[in-house]
Structure 1
Amino acid sequence: MGCTCCKQKSAKSIAAPSATIDVNDLTNADGGSSGASAQGRYCPDPTQAIPDFNKPSFNTSFTNTNTHSRSVAVTLFIALYDYDARTEDDLTFQKGEKFQIINNTEGDWWEARSLDTGHTGYIPSNYVAPVDSIQAEEWYFGKMGRKDAERQLLAQGNPRGTFLIRESETTKGAYSLSIRDWDDNKGDHVKHYKIRKLDNGGYYITTRSQFDTIQQLVDHYTERAAGLCCSLIGSCKRGMPKLADLSVKTKDMWEIPRESLQLIKKLGNGQFGEVWMPCASGCPASLHELM
């Protein structure tokens, strides 16, 4: 996360944004507030330039020390969730582990080396994000609709001030801050604030408070409401992302050999075969075994 200081910039030091927002009407920036009513998968390509919404260049990288080749900076990735290997080719890892990506040509499965354990294996690409990027933050939900954000924030157990940040549905390059709120008239509801981007790369909700990074903006509004409905107290809980395949070996297979699965419990049978609960640890909910 960035520093918590708020940058108060004068008109001389920064280009004026194309639009201003009345601090007394912040929620109108993204369509106002809404009452009670799946996260998009994030799959970056480590061989391409990773869009950095925070600063001109990543500072979390290491350099190839091979004296026979030109030095190349490599973007490191961090695990967003725990993962238990399902095959001998997978890599078991814990949330927070860092990786060097070795090969990303297998689609949803990347070959990686853990910098924590030194082990090498395949990892699901939507379980990791570039280190120090906005995608690695607990509160960042990426591409998510307004209604889905409200549904998640209004889930039981989230107190007032629970929040998330997502891509704006209406403005390219902007974000939306969604906060769970409560009052006597509406009860529990969600308010949305648009986070706009300045020409020089800064971010703001109101022009009176501008920040170099989204992380700094979050830190600022965590300490004080400063015109929002309330201060930010904690990020909304994220569910585990769905895996496209059982493993890298089965990604192109229509049928999986029975001997490669552990059938836990028979759920039923019918005209087309038996239905079983397969191995635990995130496998599909049920499998049909054809007669």
Structure 2
Amino acid sequence: MAKALRSVCPCLNSVWDVIFASERNSEGQREKDLPSPRNSLLADSQETRHIVYMALYDFRARTSDELSFRAGDEFEILNDDDRSSGTWWFARKRNRSNGECTGYIPYNYVAKKESLATESWYAGKLSRSEAKVILLSTQTTTGSFLIRESENQENGHALSVRDGTIVRHYRVMQDKTEQFCLNTINRFSSLKELVEYYKLNSLRSDLRLTTPCQLKQHRPSIRDLSYLTVDEWERPRKEFTFTKKLGSGHFGEVYAGYWNKTVQVAIKTVHAGAMNRKDFQIETQVMKNLHHPYVMSLYAICTTADPFYIVTELMKNGSLLNYLRSKEALHLGLEQLLDMAVQVAEGMSYLESQNYVHRDLAARNVLVGDNCICKIADFGLARAVKEGVYVSQSTAIPYKWTAPEAIEFGRFSVKSDVWSFGVLLYEIVTHGRTPYPGLDNQEVVSMVSKGYRMPCPDGCPGKLNEIMLQCWNSTAQNRPSFKALVQILVPFNSYEDTA
């Protein structure tokens, strides 16, 4: 890793500059940790001591160290250290007649056999809005269903069911004896029992559970290009091919492309003089340890020639700002819009927990993928802050999104990010309208310092406007935390039905 960092040169500060990489052991350590033939034989002799895992999705190996498999294949994990901390596990396939029998597999593609995660109807962490999109886009049968983790109840679950052209959501409750129920009458010892009961009995008039939603096509993202690139994320340029230009900016261009003709990626080209080398190295050192489902991840960099490449996961719908303004987003209702806001709040809550200040949170710096999945991007202005406040001398300030104390004194903190989130909420509910319409930057600074706040947008619920105003409190410490914002926003997606 140190060698890769020493070779890094200046890079771009823009929405596509998402520079995250995993801290891993060195390549030498990785080779040392690979099970030797002797250890493999020992594992064979202790087969019954290994927990059996089952594949939830198909996976095609990208390198010779990885293991291809199909959903339903069973494995034993041969390296306990990998299982406790790594994102790639060294595994042995139990049905050995089906191709290679050992290799590295992505940890989030498997689950313990006979666990809840292996049920065809279990969706895990899926938002109410995502469940609705999936059920309406992939299913045609009334009664198609899934069970997911509850958004507003810790360790709770929710049942989402298609009913004609709508989706109904039911809270799955647990009583003091840990039995599951949708009402106070029928109780079950497991979610599987609950599902089987409502296949035979109605949730409401003429509505029973029928077909589990086909979830396996919605594969989780893999943090790395492959097992071999976990540490070696400085990659040769020849490994990347360009397929389509996505956009351009002051410092470079963005393309869709592939790594080794197998993994879809976004490739940002950056000219060598775009950023101070020392600043880039500092940013990379900090950000490489940040990993969250709603925060963009860096795959690789290429800095051996000009222009440099910054390679990230591909978010097919581009920036949230452009997506909100697109024809495709015109059909989005308040529920879907708020779900995107919650995703951003969850990502920022994670950064908050890591003492990390973004400093440029806005719809233009959030990227959108399939099923309206949102990920926070553009950490070119970001800093890790141990003391809670970062003092900046920069004049590159997005005035309409920046808190008064950051504009006047250069004092950036999580609380100034909360102010920016309030402006982002305005952008979301107005489908991408520019904040403070009709006012220039200087007018905004002057009026906000005197107590002016944007009025409630048309169609925005009063309670949501109250949240914006809380974010825009003139006293930074009186603004809510991102953790609190998540808890406040989730109840907007309240449950509609009871059985």
Q: Any conservation in 1 of the 2:225–2:259 contact (CA below 8 Å)?
A: no
2:109 is aligned to 127
2:236 is aligned to 257
Within 1, Cα distance between the matches of 2:158 and 2:71? 26
1:100 is aligned to 76
Deviates more, 1:218-227 or 1:85-94: 218-227
Secondary structure of 2:222's counterpart equals coil
Structure 1 residue 288: Cα displacement? 5.1
Does 2:262 match 1:285?
Answer: no
Q: Tell me which amino acid in the other structure corresponds to 1:111.
A: F
Within 1, Cα distance between the matches of 2:268 and 2:123? 33
Q: Any conservation in 1 of the 2:138–2:214 contact (CA below 8 Å)?
A: no
Q: Any conservation in 2 of the 1:106–1:248 contact (CA below 8 Å)?
A: no
Q: Tell me which amino acid in the other structure corresponds to 1:206.
A: N
Of 187, 204, 222, which residue of structure 2 is paired with 1:243? 222
Structure 1 residue 274: Cα displacement? 8.8
* Greater Cα radius of gyration, structure 1 or 2: 2
Q: Any conservation in 1 of the 2:67–2:105 contact (CA below 8 Å)?
A: yes
Of 198, 219, 222, which residue of structure 1 is paired with 2:199? 222
Does 2:234 match 1:234?
Answer: no
Structure 1 residue 73: Cα displacement? 4.3
CA deviations 1:102-142 (Å, max 9, x no partner) are: 22166211111111117111101111111111111121111
CA deviations 1:158-208 (Å, max 9, x no partner) are: 3221111111122222211011113xxxxx211111112233332121233
Deviates more, 1:248-257 or 1:71-80: 71-80
Cα RMSD, aligned residues only: 2.9
Of 54, 57, 73, which residue of structure 2 is paired with 1:78? 54
2:159 is aligned to 177
User: Which aligned pairs between 1:1-291 and structure 2 lie closer than 5 A?
Assistant: 73-103=49-79, 104=82, 107-117=86-96, 119-155=101-137, 157-182=139-164, 188-227=165-204, 230-238=207-215, 239-258=218-237, 261=239, 263=241, 266-267=243-244, 272=252, 275=255, 276-281=257-262, 283-287=263-267, 291=307
Q: Tell me which amino acid in the other structure corresponds to 1:277.
A: Y
Structure 1 residue 252: Cα displacement? 3.0
Structure 1 residue 99: Cα displacement? 0.7
Q: Tell me which amino acid in the other structure corresponds to 1:218.
A: V
Q: Any conservation in 2 of the 1:267–1:277 contact (CA below 8 Å)?
A: no
Q: Any conservation in 2 of the 1:175–1:194 contact (CA below 8 Å)?
A: yes
Deviates more, 1:162-171 or 1:148-157: 148-157
Q: Measured at CA, do residues 266 and 227 of structure 1 come closer, stay the same or move farther in structure 2, by a change above 3 Å? A: closer
Q: Any conservation in 2 of the 1:278–1:286 contact (CA below 8 Å)?
A: no
Structure 1 residue 266: Cα displacement? 4.4
Within 2, Cα distance between the matches of 1:200 and 1:214? 14
Q: Tell me which amino acid in the other structure corresponds to 1:78.
A: M
Q: Tell me which amino acid in the other structure corresponds to 2:265.
A: A
Q: Which runs of 5+ in 2 are unaligned?
A: 1-42, 270-305, 308-499
Within 1, Cα distance between the matches of 2:107 and 2:205? 35
Structure 1 residue 224: Cα displacement? 2.6
Secondary structure of 1:152's counterpart equals helix
The structure with more helix, counted as a fraction of residues? 2
Within 2, Cα distance between the matches of 1:251 and 1:229? 52
Within 1, Cα distance between the matches of 2:177 and 2:45? 37
Q: Tell me which amino acid in the other structure corresponds to 1:221.
A: Y
Q: Tell me which amino acid in the other structure corresponds to 2:169.
A: H
Within 2, Cα distance between the matches of 1:205 and 1:167? 15
Q: What fraction of aligned residue pairs are identical, expressed as a percent? A: 32
Q: Measured at CA, do residues 143 and 229 of structure 1 come closer, stay the same or move farther in structure 2, by a change above 3 Å? A: farther
TM-score (norm 2): 0.39
Q: Any conservation in 2 of the 1:78–1:99 contact (CA below 8 Å)?
A: yes
TM-score (norm 1): 0.65
Secondary structure of 1:216's counterpart equals helix
Q: Which runs of 5+ in 1 are unaligned?
A: 1-63, 183-187
Q: Tell me which amino acid in the other structure corresponds to 2:227.
A: V
Q: Any conservation in 2 of the 1:165–1:177 contact (CA below 8 Å)?
A: yes
Within 1, Cα distance between the matches of 2:122 and 2:85? 26
Within 1, Cα distance between the matches of 2:49 and 2:178? 23
Residue-pair matches, total: 217
The structure with more strand, counted as a fraction of residues? 1
Structure 1 residue 251: Cα displacement? 1.9
Structure 1 residue 156: Cα displacement? 5.3
Structure 1 residue 74: Cα displacement? 3.2
